[in-house]
Structure formats: C-alpha cells, structure tokens
C-alpha cells in the first residue's frame, strides 16, 4: 500500500488545514484503489472506506462517516468517535469490579449486593454495613485503578477540561493547569489523564523561554565551575610561593 500525504484540496478554501483522516492507494487487480481511514479517539478503532468517488473532499468524507453513525469532524481528529463508542456499547474492563458494586467508574451508582452474592463474587468476608461495603469496594477499585483505560464518559470529562486549559498548538497547559490538576478535578488518576492527553492532544512541549533560561543556567554553571577550579589552583600556588618566600627571607637574615 502506498501511503499518500494527507492534504486539503484547494477548493476547501482552508489554508494550512490537515484532515482528520488518512488516504492511501494500492494497486490490485490491475487498477489503483483509494482508501480513507479514520481512527476513533475513544478506542482507536479504524474506520476504513473504499473511496472510489473520484475525490476525497473533506466535506464529502465527513458526510460519509456521519452517515455510518460516526461523530466526525473533517479537521479535528479528537472529535472523531466511532458508532460503538457513540452508543456506549463498548464496556470498559473495570466496569464489573468490586463484585458488581459499580455500574460506572469512580463510585457512581453504588449499590449493595446481598451477602450471599457478595460471598460468591468476592473472596473476602461480606461486610455487614453499608459503610463497610463501600470501603471494601473503594479499596478494590483503587488497587486496579491504574491498570485500566478510561471509559468514554471519563474521556469526555477529561476533554472538557483539556479543551479549556490545554493549548494543543503550543503543546502546553495554560492557566497553571497540569495533568495532576486535571486528574484532581475529574477524580481520575493523573497518570491516566497524561496518557489520554498525549494520545488525543499530543505530548507536552517545552516552553522556549524556559528552555532558553535553562540553557543559560547550564552555561553559567559551567563557567562558574571552571573559575572555581582556577581559583583553587591559584590558592595552591599562592601557598607554595608563600612557603618559598618565608624560607628565602629566613635564609637572607642569616647571611
């Protein structure tokens, strides 16, 4: 398959815009065939279209994907969601944790099972109070909280914060936000927030002003170190010369 560079046709009238899909062409059965591929920002699912309409104008591509049930933006990959994720049909691995106490993540829709059911679905002794049930479930969830992926609902919460406080053009947070703060506001592990942010919005980029200051600090530290070594060598020389001077002066007095 020969990958082609993603582009926007001049007829769109949009300058420096990049479509949210890829195009590729392969030669099979004596003819060239063009394929359009988009990826779901939620689950990474690839949606591939055999595109033989004679042109891949972004508006036509977006219309085709929407007709297939996608939430689709021709120029924003982070707003492309496959039909399964749109309908919420894909269960997350952690949805059946804590003996079925949670129907969604982070302590939503908490219900208490009967003690017999609890004993069947968990290895620990069934708690006898609502508080004990909740604590056991929370402990169970927190143990596995980092070994999972975010649900569609959680990703939507994270995107809501990132859209307001992360500039994906410069690759940095604004308004004194960071992954830890987003995790705190969304009640999610910040490591999972960082993983999703890098996937959907890109990696963090260094501030050129900060990097320039750091580089200057490195140069000054090196210069300071060299001067310090020179001063140490000069002190050693002064001590030796002073010793020789004392000896010579004492010898002169005896003459």
Residues 128 and 52 in one domain: no
Range of the domain at 31: 2-86
Residues 123 and 137 in one domain: yes
In the structure, how many helices (H) and strands (E) does the chain have?
Answer: 8, 6
**pLDDT the model gives residue 146:** 62
Q: Are 226 and 219 in contact (CB under 8 A)?
A: no
**pLDDT the model gives residue 61:** 85
Residues 32 and 79 in one domain: yes
Residues 220 and 251 in one domain: yes
pTM check: above 0.85: no
Residues 143 and 167 in one domain: no
How far is residue 164's CA from residue 155's CA, in Å, rounded to a whole number?
14
Residues 68 and 24 in one domain: yes
> Mean pLDDT for each 10-residue chunk of the chain (255 residues)?
39 58 81 86 86 71 86 87 79 42 40 46 45 52 66 91 90 92 92 90 84 86 91 91 88 84
**pLDDT the model gives residue 142:** 53
Residues 77 and 43 in one domain: yes
State which of 124, 148, 172 marks the end of a domain: 148
How far is residue 34's CA from residue 24's CA, in Å, rounded to a whole number?
6
Residues 195 and 235 in one domain: no
State which of 86, 101, 132 marks the end of a domain: 86
**pLDDT the model gives residue 55:** 60
State which of 43, 64, 86 marks the end of a domain: 86
Q: How many domains does the chain have?
A: 4
Residues 6 and 82 in one domain: yes
Residues 191 and 218 in one domain: no
Q: Are 80 and 72 in contact (CB under 8 A)?
A: yes
**pLDDT the model gives residue 177:** 94
How far is residue 81's CA from residue 61's CA, in Å, rounded to a whole number?
14
**pLDDT the model gives residue 173:** 93
Residues 103 and 144 in one domain: yes
Residues 15 and 76 in one domain: yes
């Amino acid at each position: 398959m020969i990958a082609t560079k993603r582009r926007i046709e001049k007829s769109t009238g949009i300058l420096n815009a990049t479509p949210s899909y890829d195009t590729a062409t392969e030669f099979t059965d004596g003819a060239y065939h063009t394929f359009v591929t988009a990826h779901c920002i939620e689950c990474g699912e690839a949606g591939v279209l055999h595109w033989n309409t004679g042109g891949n104008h972004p508006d036509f591509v977006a219309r085709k994907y929407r007709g297939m049930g996608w939430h689709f933006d021709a120029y924003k990959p982070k707003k492309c969601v496959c039909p399964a994720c749109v309908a919420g049909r894909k269960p997350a691995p952690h949805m059946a944790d804590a003996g079925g106490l949670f129907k969604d993540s982070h302590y939503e829709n908490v219900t208490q099972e009967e003690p017999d059911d609890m004993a069947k679905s968990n290895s620990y002794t069934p708690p006898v109070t609502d508080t004990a049930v909740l604590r056991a479930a929370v402990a169970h969830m927190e143990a596995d909280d980092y070994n999972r992926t975010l649900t569609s609902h959680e990703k939507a919460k994270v995107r809501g914060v990132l859209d307001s406080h992360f500039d994906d053009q410069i690759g940095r947070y604004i308004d004194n936000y960071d992954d830890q703060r987003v995790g705190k506001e969304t009640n999610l592990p910040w490591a999972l927030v960082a993983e999703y942010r890098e996937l959907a919005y890109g990696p963090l980029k260094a501030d050129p002003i900060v990097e320039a200051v750091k580089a200057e600090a490195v140069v000054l530290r090196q210069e300071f170190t060299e001067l310090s070594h020179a001063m140490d060598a000069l002190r050693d020389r002064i001590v030796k010369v002073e010793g020789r001077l004392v000896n010579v002066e004492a010898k002169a007095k005896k003459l």
